[in-house]
A and B are shown apart, each in its own frame.
Chain A
Amino acid sequence: MRTSRRMWLVFFLGPATVVFAAFITYPILSALAFSMYAWEGIGRRGFIGLANFARLFATFPYSGLLVNAFWHNVLVFVVTMLIQNVTALGLAVLLARSPWGTRGYRVVFFLPVMLSLVIVGFLWALFLNPIFGLVNKFLTLAHAGALARPWLGDASTSLLTLIVVNAWRWLGFPTIVFLAGINAVPEEYVEAARIDGAGEWDVIRRIIFPLLAPAVTIIVLLTFIGSFNWFELPYIMQGVSGAPNRATDVLSLLFYRTAFGEVDTGLQDIGIGSAIAVLMFALLLTVSAVGAVLLRRREVELA
């Protein structure tokens, strides 16, 4: 009986454990180890300690590229928070009052989230073409031709443009999450506040925002992870080298082209690539862990 029970456990748990261990745990753990070896192509040579990291931090142009890409990721996070998530919060507050057509708005707002970023990227690249694209044509039609510019080619606007396109695709997601959070606020709290004579804004500020804290934490966390994993959109719209002049270079692009081949020669540097991966990994894990702790604490406070 006992052995057969154990056999059944192995039978039920075995396949999932093996698949998960082989294709998730093993690659992640080896990625950490790989950064400490010397590489020739994809052939692993001797153990070299932290030499890859030293090379990454100390030699031009890697050092500059790393810092440049890192700050771009930070910018993506901050600006996305400001324009995408604040807008989403505003829309959620409006939708929470159940105005006419709420159901329809929900469906429409969420629609772009379904689309592949490849489709979104190519679509907007066509729209943003400086000569044939309709964004500049629209500006000219609206007598704002002076605003027309090479959105994706100008180093001062290219990253911001990508962030806006990204927000176009994602906006519905935080909207729905915030909306669910607001709807979960017990009606009697709001009523009680109203009876006490609180105005609309007071209700939002005193009751809804504090109770929305878990949803906000989750969205901040997801935005952070998304911003630091950002790859598809810059790759599709600007190419693997983060054109123009590295203005849209981010850590994932730098990692990808270092590990899998530079644009003009296809040269690979797995050592440096692995070192970048380890740094990103450490950053993401730290922030996720901190976020998870914060989340739990806030939920406890609420309970």
Chain B
Amino acid sequence: MRRRALVGLLVCLLVAGFYPAAATGQQPVKLTFWSWRVEDKWAYDKIIQAFQQRNPGIQVEFVPFKATEYNTILSSALTAGKGPDIIHLRAYGGLETFAAPGYIAQLDFDKLPELKTFSRQLLDGARGRKDGKLYGVPFATQSLVIYYNKKIFAQNNLSVPKTWDEFLTVLKTLKDHGVLPLANGGKEGWTLEVMSGVVAPNFYGGTAFYDAVTRGQTSFKDTAYTNALAKMLDLRPYMHPNFMGVDYTTMQQQFINEQAAMFIGGSWEIGFFKAQNKDLDFDIFVAPPSKAGTTPWVSSYNDGNYGVNAKTPYMDAALKFIQFTATREFGQMFTDMLAQLSAVPGVEVRDPILKRVQELSRKSTPYIMLVGFRWQAPTGSTLLQSALQGMMAGSKTPEQVGDEVTKGLSAWFEPFQGR
């Protein structure tokens, strides 16, 4: 008898477990929305509320993943014929991976007339490379900058450096005064790629080099590029002595808790820094060039797009949400809350720091590996990130980094073959 009861209980448990949300009657459509922006969840939740008030029949759940795991998880899910209804997609090659096999619903100006007003440059980041079709609504442009703690600068009588040498002097002064100058670390390779995106363009000559290398007229073995990478080594003495073990979260923590004076990173941090420490008095500058008077280059790119899973059972609802992300209203909320530059045209930038990012990004250059070399495996980013870890740890020279990246890319980038 007792066993009967036990078996019965077990069966109930199992059934209850497998059908937790048995759909009954006219319930609202529930969309899931995957993203790699863990830090932005609070803002997305609010934006989604605004959307839901206008569209009572649709509910959206924002599910963020750790950035370094996101692509692999998304990739498995989509090949499984599953995945979320709304997908936060990367741009360029990161979009192509999912668009080319048909996992992402195609968009066009008929479905989304709002997109007509978007800048062509941004839309290029949302197009498939092979078919040139649109697959997403661009959401933000990001620029790579240097954050500094104004209070620490003032305490040490420092001002924003105008040249690379001044920059090094600032770093040295801070170190001599017992302050950790740079929060940056090397445990996660992508943070080093970001650092190269800040430091290197001024020394390799910005867009001219980008054009040459993407056309195959030169390669990453070019001394212009390797010498530019070598400049990163100048910064090494000013990072934590154990910086190679410092991960992204620890970097952020150190700058937020005012334990480090500067943080080399992307414009997406502004909102997060402010939310985490209201008293943090910080601003940004861009990597200074070698000579005073030249306008410095700023690496920037289309950060990504909102796309729709081609297999979603709720295509109409998902499109409605995507459409919402292309409106001025969304763009304004996005910019105000997250302090990132929305891709929607005509959005007013109110945050003073973000305004400065916008001004400084006038002379922008494509973030080189992300925009130009993520089309096939091994990607420029994969290769560069690992090699930079070697370089910053002292086991590789900048020339070896250039060699390795060029050799790796030659697997699919024909102009590099035989170089």
Contact = CB atoms under 8 A, between A and B. Distances in A.
> Are both chains from one complex?
yes
Interface of A: 40-42, 59-61, 128-132, 136, 148-155, 239-241, 243-246, 257, 260-269
B94 A264 contact: yes
A110 to B, nearest CB: 29
B189 interface: yes
Contact of A265 (B68, B71, B245): B71
A148 B312 CA distance: 51
24 contacts: A42-B79, A130-B250, A131-B246, A131-B254, A132-B253, A136-B242, A148-B242, A150-B243, A153-B245, A155-B395, A240-B68, A240-B69, A240-B72, A241-B382, A244-B244, A244-B393, A245-B387, A245-B390, A261-B73, A262-B379, A264-B382, A265-B374, A266-B72, A269-B377
A42 B101 CA distance: 10
A216 B144 CA distance: 56
Interface in B165-204: 185-190
Nearest to B66: A239
B389 interface: yes
Contact of B377 (A129, A132, A246, A265): A265
Nearest to A133: B245
A265 B186 CA distance: 20
A75 B411 CA distance: 29
A267 B250 contact: no
A239 B188 contact: yes
Contacts, number: 150
Given A155-B393, A245-B393, A263 B79 contact: no
B101 A40 contact: yes
Closest 10 pairs (CB-CB, A-B): A150-B245, A153-B245, A261-B75, A266-B75, A130-B242, A153-B244, A266-B71, A130-B245, A245-B389, A150-B242
A266 B254 contact: no
A129 B185 CA distance: 12
Nearest to B259: A131
Contact of A155 (B93, B185, B390): B390
A149 B242 CA distance: 6
Contacts of B150: none
Interface in B31-70: 68-69
Given A150-B245, A260-B75, A132 B189 contact: no
Contacts of A136: 242
Contact of A263 (B72, B185, B187, B389): B72
B372 to A, nearest CB: 13
B358 to A, nearest CB: 27
B74 A266 contact: yes
Contact of B386 (A42, A128, A132, A246): A246
A231 to B, nearest CB: 13
A153 B75 contact: no
B76 interface: yes
A296 to B, nearest CB: 41
Contact of B76 (A151, A244, A260): A260
Contact of A61 (B74, B79, B98, B383): B383
B240 interface: yes
B80 to A, nearest CB: 9
Nearest to B92: A265
Interface residues of B, number: 53
Nearest to B71: A266
B97 interface: yes
Of A148, A152, A153, A155, the most chain B CB neighbours within 10 A belong to: A153
Contact of B187 (A153, A262, A267): A153
Contacts of B246: 130-131, 150, 153
Contacts of B72: 240, 257, 260-263, 266
A31 to B, nearest CB: 17
Nearest to B375: A265
Given A150-B187, A245-B387, 20 more contacts: A40-B101, A41-B79, A60-B408, A130-B240, A131-B246, A132-B253, A150-B243, A150-B246, A153-B243, A153-B247, A154-B244, A155-B389, A239-B188, A240-B69, A241-B385, A243-B188, A261-B76, A264-B190, A267-B97, A269-B377
B414 to A, nearest CB: 14
Nearest to B183: A131
A149 B245 contact: yes
B386 A241 contact: yes
Contacts of A152: 187, 245
Interface string B363-377: 000000000001011
Given A60-B407, A153-B186, A155-B393, A262 B242 contact: no
Contacts of B188: 239, 243
B26 to A, nearest CB: 36
Of B97, B381, B383, B395, the most chain A CB neighbours within 10 A belong to: B97
B378 interface: yes
B162 interface: no
Contacts of A42: 79
B393 A151 contact: no
Of A59, A132, A243, the most chain B CB neighbours within 10 A belong to: A243
A71 B96 CA distance: 34
Contact of A268 (B79, B242, B244, B389): B79
Nearest to B74: A266
A263 B250 contact: no
Contacts of B127: none
A245 B389 CA distance: 5
A269 B287 CA distance: 38
Contacts of B101: 40-41
A101 B72 CA distance: 48
A271 to B, nearest CB: 12
B221 interface: no
A61 B389 contact: no
A266 B387 contact: no
Of B72, B250, B390, the most chain A CB neighbours within 10 A belong to: B72
B90 interface: yes
Contacts of B382: 241, 262-264
Contacts of B76: 260-261
